[in-house]
Structure 1
Amino acid sequence: MKRLSNKINIYFAALILLLGVGSCETTELELVDDPNALNSATASPDFYVNAIQISLRNLFGGDELDSNGTSLSERGMEVTRILHMFGPLYDNAYSPGAHDFAWSTAYAEILADARSLEPLAIEQELYMHLGIAQVAEAYAIAAMVDFFGDVPYSESADGVTFNPKADPGLETYQALHGVLDNAIANFNKEEFSKPANDFFYGGDKAKWINLANTLKLKLYLQSRLVTESESTAGINAILASGNYIQGPSGDFKFQYGTTDNNPDSRHPFFTRNFVEGTGVTDYMSNTYMDMLLNQKTAPDPRVRYYIYRQRNSNAQNTVEQSCFGALPPPHIGFASIFCNLVDNPGYWGRDHGYDFGIPPDTGARATWGLYPVGGKFDNDDFEAIPDRNIGTKGSGIDPIMMSSFVDFMLAEAALTIGVNGDPATYLESGIRESIGTVMAFRTDLVDTDFVPSEADVDAYVAEVLANYAAANNDQKLNIIIKEYWLALWGNGVEAYNTYRRTGKPDDLQQLVRQPSDNFMRSFWYPDAYVNQNSNATQKPDVFQKVFWDTNPDTGFIY
């Protein structure tokens, strides 16, 4: 869905207010004289809610105009080896301008729209409208803290401050707990009418309450290294309430369509990769494919849903792959994967930070499968993708907060900070719910000859649980997080946060160009912030940690 012209006008008005572009007089002219700009006298609360939901989708997964892949989820997948990152190094992998889209979406769209909606919703008793906006605001601002560090919040979009100062991350998190509590209170009120469009839950307020509590759970877990006792008590209270995402029916996901123009409603990754005459665009990650294929007795039951092979062989020469036949650099060594997966023909990907030129391999690369973007199920046909008329034709999903994710978060919390419940039970539930969700996705497009059997799934789960039972606590955490990784296909936001919080999985591939004893602990502040806010200062490097990351500065993750 393309953003409407009114959204463009409110974008610029809000951006001026937030970042301090121009003078007070200029701002007044923009707000008074622009006949298309939304204001409290002319705006529709339903329009605001529609726009906020679409903006939240865009923040997470990008929009149909975002061909350069600047969504938070994609960036998170790249740095954590779920997708290939070109790199070659962390400090030059992404420019400060690479996240202007995400920053502007969070502040000039979601936050500005939520602030504009609030008085209208209160006046008209549209409490569900307001609750949805508050949930979106909490998700968006938490993401800004998690990806960039200390960011403006208390002074943002207040109608007074033109150069808002950054707040300490912990204070922002605490404020967001309050925002989510307010959202829950609003969902529990009797509203005059529900939103015309609820793109996520179809007007089910109970599911929105469960989501709000789940986001509180996420914030508690994320900050457990600095607020352990508060996090334990907070999560236990949510568990006791029973009001959090439990089971696939409560999954927080965005459903895409199949329209390919005016507007393009397909999954952005589908749109970018499956185009007539061009071949696929993205490279899969050798690290992630190796995790799926080679680290247990049998391949992961989800692999044919996740990855589609366009041919049944790997590169044959240096024209197809410049690293073909080369020895791995010393810091990679022979014990790690390098260049390609020798024993897995057709799983054609790239190493972490491999930035050498693009060979004529668009019809050979492994690519997105059926889940979650809506591509093809891999049934060993080994055919190059011809055009966009494959699989669901783009009707995939963005898996923003799935029930399986909650189980893995609870497994971590039970193991590390004593939250109620058995970590192994949460672990098993997370694995089974993830596999079940993937295998239930568009069963009409699956070749039943290649569908894993119940026995296959049981054997996979049994192997993980046996390894868990034999492990020490550090190894147990690694097992939990690795299984979480395998469920996070399509979600880099939670992967990026989890890796920095836990240091797991502990066997990810190093940057292939040169060894590193550190990791991208936060991204550069966007140009849209530092260049237009007199109180903003760019950080010295991307190794600056966010407030909840109290782990060692070096030698912890890489």
Structure 2
Amino acid sequence: MKNIFKYISLAMFAGLLLVTSCESVELDLAGNPNELTPDQSSPDLFLNSIQTDFATFTELMSWNGGDLVRISYLNGRNYQNIANYAPAQLNLEWNIAYQGDNGEVLASGLEVNGILADIRAMAPVAEETELFHHTAIGQFIEAYTMVTLVDFFGDVPYSEAIQGDAETPILNPNVDSGASIYDAALQLLDDAIANFERDVVTEPANDFYYGGNWDNWIKAANTLKMKIYLQRRLVDPSAVDNFNAIVTSGNYISESSEDLQFRWGTNAVQPDVRHPRYADNYTPSGGVDYLPNWLMNYMNINEDPRTRYYFYRQVNAVPGEEVPPNEETLACSLEPTPQHYTDGGFTFCTLPNGYWGRDHGQNAGIPPDGFTRTVYGVYPSGGKFDDSSFKGISVGSGGAGAGITPILLASWVDFMRAEVAMLTNPTAAKDLVLAGITKSVAKVTSFGTLDSGADLSFAPTQGNIDNFINNIDTLFTNADDDGKWDVLAEQYFVSLFGNGIDGYNFYRRTGFPTTLQPNLEPEPGAFVRSLNYPADFVNNNSSVDPKPNQEVQVFWDTNPAAPTFPPSN
């Protein structure tokens, strides 16, 4: 459940970096110290803002995608009227991508500048002083941001965005086709790779992602190119060959040590730099977000060794399971199972052993369950490892928020390669699925040490891990082609926990998995194929009209229209 206010702390982080890093203390020389012009700020300050805004943007878009594919919890029983996807609720991510505005962020007293605006401001100074690595990071982030906007919104402004000068700005930029923006992103990444390879006199003061490892940045750029080719493979006959050419080169993210991720801190005030999912849930009043029953159930029945790292149970029993139903704390525990859940064999409302979440689309009110619902664990949010102690949560407990925002991981690349292999060679796809699982499990289980107070004797043994991987091997081997796609997709979605962007893309691109828990509403309407344009965009731009609905498909999504596709909604 996306709570817009939790991102105020992220905006403060970005804004305070910009202010506290400033070389000049004469802030009265600027009309707004958080909107410094090139002559008032250095490229390092712009790059700081670009990098932190990028982490914020990725978190926001992760929620938007994850909610729809059960990687996080969706609150809404009619797809076309879900509150979190209303135009007014999408302003923040739009403004962070383009140019900071006077929206919710100002409640903190500070505001983000916007990724594209800061890149445009940094570019001439970085070019003039030959700060090629500053430029290259900006080019990578611009490519990722614009591709993500296309994936979620379709045609968006680009060639006219943040253009013009102070006297004649382009106030009503037209949209560009998604396909042309993809092409531009590929060119940006080629330019970024060339710039990462150049020698510089002055390196960035802060590289929050790779700490100045430019070889890893080049691998990330090539990996993003692989992702772009994969996403448009339905409309680009050369996409798979281009994808495989990068695989053959070997110059992409293939080891977890090369993962692209943003690491959060533990400071809680002035600014709050903790992982946003931690900050939102480890509070004096308990948890705020619900976790999806489909994902928790799927991982539990398969004895997934990542379960105790993803989910922290505050209690050991759920009403309607080990204890009697309770109308006040879990009203659905007294309700009959919907017929379409019964017919499909889906779990409803409750899970055993304290896994207290919500079904897909459940939009009931909020009962007093802040200290009973399951919350985010130690991965990726820096919360608590579940050692069956059921001690509850508090501010600062567990890893104190020192988690990560995953952006491009080696395990995900294995699943991307498995998707391509499934087109011609399912046997090779199985090996890649198992490789992806192995990398994901190793990465996730390494996070247990973040929770210094946990009893790690509850951590999975190597035998537990081997048994799990062998079981997935058997499931894949014994399945028909559709079943193999389901296993691949299910395991890919599990590995994507913490970032739902690629899960949403995969689901629209392939239609798998077909095993997802359906919406609680028997007839929820057409599945969301792209998001509404944000209110700030359509209300303030005379060049664009609102979308007719959320059934509009992005350029690479050539699959049948809803409701026949995707099969699970």
TM-score by length of 2: 0.88
**Matched residue SS, 1:158:** coil
Please state how far the C-alpha of 1:444 moved relative to its aligned partner: 5.7
Residues 323-360 of structure 1: CA deviation (Å, up to 9, x unaligned):
11321222322543344344x22001111111111112
- Does structure 1 retain, via aligned residues, the 8 Å contact 2:136–2:195? yes
- 1:86 equivalenced with 2:75 (yes/no): yes
- Which amino acid letter does the alignment assign opposite residue 73 of structure 2? H
- Does structure 2 retain, via aligned residues, the 8 Å contact 1:304–1:379? yes
Aligned pairs for 1:250-261 (under 5 A) are: 250-261=258-269
Please state how far the C-alpha of 1:513 moved relative to its aligned partner: 2.4
Tell me the residue number matched to 1:285.
Answer: 292
Tell me the residue number matched to 1:187.
Answer: 196
- 1:534 equivalenced with 2:542 (yes/no): yes
**Matched residue SS, 2:273:** coil
Tell me the residue number matched to 1:15.
Answer: none
Tell me the residue number matched to 1:25.
Answer: none
Please state how far the C-alpha of 1:152 moved relative to its aligned partner: 0.9
CA distance in 2, matches of 1:141, 1:271: 28
- 1:463 equivalenced with 2:471 (yes/no): yes
- Does structure 1 retain, via aligned residues, the 8 Å contact 2:79–2:526? no
Report which stretch shifted further, 459-468 or 250-259: 459-468
The structure-2 alpha-carbon separation of the partners of 1:353 and 1:317, relative to structure 1 and needing over 3 Å to count, comes to: same
Instruction: Decide which of 420, 428, 431 is 1:422's aligned counterpart.
Output: 428
- Does structure 2 retain, via aligned residues, the 8 Å contact 1:510–1:516? no
**Matched residue SS, 2:332:** coil
- Which amino acid letter does the alignment assign opposite residue 459 of structure 2? V
- 1:74 equivalenced with 2:63 (yes/no): yes
CA distance in 1, matches of 2:51, 2:438: 29
Residues 461-517 of structure 1: CA deviation (Å, up to 9, x unaligned):
111122222233322222111110111111111111111111111111121123246
Tell me the residue number matched to 1:401.
Answer: 408
Tell me the residue number matched to 1:451.
Answer: 459
- Which amino acid letter does the alignment assign opposite residue 98 of structure 2? Y
CA distance in 2, matches of 1:512, 1:340: 10
Please state how far the C-alpha of 1:414 moved relative to its aligned partner: 1.8
Instruction: Decide which of 330, 334, 341 is 1:332's aligned counterpart.
Output: 341
The structure-2 alpha-carbon separation of the partners of 1:185 and 1:88, relative to structure 1 and needing over 3 Å to count, comes to: same
The structure-2 alpha-carbon separation of the partners of 1:364 and 1:161, relative to structure 1 and needing over 3 Å to count, comes to: same
Please state how far the C-alpha of 1:452 moved relative to its aligned partner: 1.1
- 1:439 equivalenced with 2:437 (yes/no): no
Please state how far the C-alpha of 1:540 moved relative to its aligned partner: 1.1
CA distance in 2, matches of 1:480, 1:152: 35
**Matched residue SS, 1:399:** strand
CA distance in 2, matches of 1:515, 1:92: 13
**Matched residue SS, 1:364:** coil
- Does structure 2 retain, via aligned residues, the 8 Å contact 1:6–1:38? no
Instruction: Decide which of 221, 232, 247 is 1:212's aligned counterpart.
Output: 221
Unmatched tracts of structure 2, length 5 or more: 1-11, 20-28, 100-113, 320-324
Tell me the residue number matched to 1:145.
Answer: 150
- Does structure 2 retain, via aligned residues, the 8 Å contact 1:318–1:324? yes
- Which amino acid letter does the alignment assign opposite residue 105 of structure 1? I
CA distance in 2, matches of 1:191, 1:494: 34
- Does structure 2 retain, via aligned residues, the 8 Å contact 1:124–1:192? no
CA distance in 2, matches of 1:87, 1:253: 30
- 1:168 equivalenced with 2:177 (yes/no): yes
- Does structure 2 retain, via aligned residues, the 8 Å contact 1:232–1:417? no
- Does structure 1 retain, via aligned residues, the 8 Å contact 2:88–2:536? yes
- Does structure 2 retain, via aligned residues, the 8 Å contact 1:60–1:73? yes
Instruction: Decide which of 244, 253, 258 is 1:245's aligned counterpart.
Output: 253
- 1:40 equivalenced with 2:38 (yes/no): yes
**Matched residue SS, 1:145:** helix
Residues 164-203 of structure 1: CA deviation (Å, up to 9, x unaligned):
1111111110111001110001001111211000001000
CA distance in 2, matches of 1:38, 1:479: 50
Tell me the residue number matched to 1:346.
Answer: 354
Tell me the residue number matched to 1:136.
Answer: 141
Tell me the residue number matched to 2:487.
Answer: 479
CA distance in 2, matches of 1:204, 1:494: 25
- Which amino acid letter does the alignment assign opposite residue 100 of structure 1? N
How many residues are treated as equivalent by the alignment?
Answer: 518
- 1:498 equivalenced with 2:506 (yes/no): yes
Tell me the residue number matched to 2:8.
Answer: none
CA distance in 1, matches of 2:489, 2:154: 23
**Matched residue SS, 1:320:** coil
CA distance in 2, matches of 1:136, 1:444: 28
Please state how far the C-alpha of 1:73 moved relative to its aligned partner: 0.8
- 1:314 equivalenced with 2:318 (yes/no): yes
CA distance in 2, matches of 1:403, 1:511: 31
- Which amino acid letter does the alignment assign opposite residue 428 of structure 1? L
**Matched residue SS, 1:129:** helix
CA distance in 2, matches of 1:337, 1:122: 57
Tell me the residue number matched to 1:3.
Answer: 14
- 1:303 equivalenced with 2:294 (yes/no): no
Report which stretch shifted further, 118-127 or 428-437: 118-127
- Does structure 1 retain, via aligned residues, the 8 Å contact 2:17–2:48? no
What RMSD over aligned residues (CA atoms) do the two structures have, in Å?
Answer: 2.0
- 1:411 equivalenced with 2:415 (yes/no): no
Please state how far the C-alpha of 1:226 moved relative to its aligned partner: 0.7
Please state how far the C-alpha of 1:379 moved relative to its aligned partner: 1.1
Unmatched tracts of structure 1, length 5 or more: 9-31, 62-70
CA distance in 2, matches of 1:364, 1:5: 35
Report which stretch shifted further, 167-176 or 410-419: 410-419
Please state how far the C-alpha of 1:7 moved relative to its aligned partner: 6.6
Tell me the residue number matched to 1:29.
Answer: none
CA distance in 2, matches of 1:185, 1:444: 37
- Does structure 2 retain, via aligned residues, the 8 Å contact 1:73–1:490? yes
Residues 353-398 of structure 1: CA deviation (Å, up to 9, x unaligned):
111111121111111111111111111112222x212111111111
- Does structure 1 retain, via aligned residues, the 8 Å contact 2:379–2:447? yes
**Matched residue SS, 1:253:** strand
Aligned pairs for 1:101-116 (under 5 A) are: 101-108=92-99, 109-116=114-121
The structure-2 alpha-carbon separation of the partners of 1:350 and 1:191, relative to structure 1 and needing over 3 Å to count, comes to: same
Instruction: Decide which of 256, 270, 280 is 1:272's aligned counterpart.
Output: 280
CA distance in 1, matches of 2:390, 2:448: 20
**Matched residue SS, 1:531:** helix
Report which stretch shifted further, 443-452 or 151-160: 443-452
- Does structure 2 retain, via aligned residues, the 8 Å contact 1:232–1:418? no
CA distance in 2, matches of 1:204, 1:326: 55
- Does structure 1 retain, via aligned residues, the 8 Å contact 2:378–2:450? no
Please state how far the C-alpha of 1:448 moved relative to its aligned partner: 2.9
CA distance in 1, matches of 2:525, 2:163: 41
**Matched residue SS, 2:447:** coil
CA distance in 1, matches of 2:199, 2:58: 30
The structure-2 alpha-carbon separation of the partners of 1:422 and 1:472, relative to structure 1 and needing over 3 Å to count, comes to: same
- Which amino acid letter does the alignment assign opposite residue 326 of structure 1? E
- Which amino acid letter does the alignment assign opposite residue 542 of structure 1? Q
CA distance in 2, matches of 1:180, 1:508: 35
**Matched residue SS, 2:423:** helix
Tell me the residue number matched to 2:212.
Answer: 203
- Which amino acid letter does the alignment assign opposite residue 183 of structure 1? A
The structure-2 alpha-carbon separation of the partners of 1:6 and 1:377, relative to structure 1 and needing over 3 Å to count, comes to: closer
- Does structure 2 retain, via aligned residues, the 8 Å contact 1:56–1:110? yes
Instruction: Decide which of 32, 54, 57 is 2:55's aligned counterpart.
Output: 57
- Does structure 1 retain, via aligned residues, the 8 Å contact 2:79–2:524? no
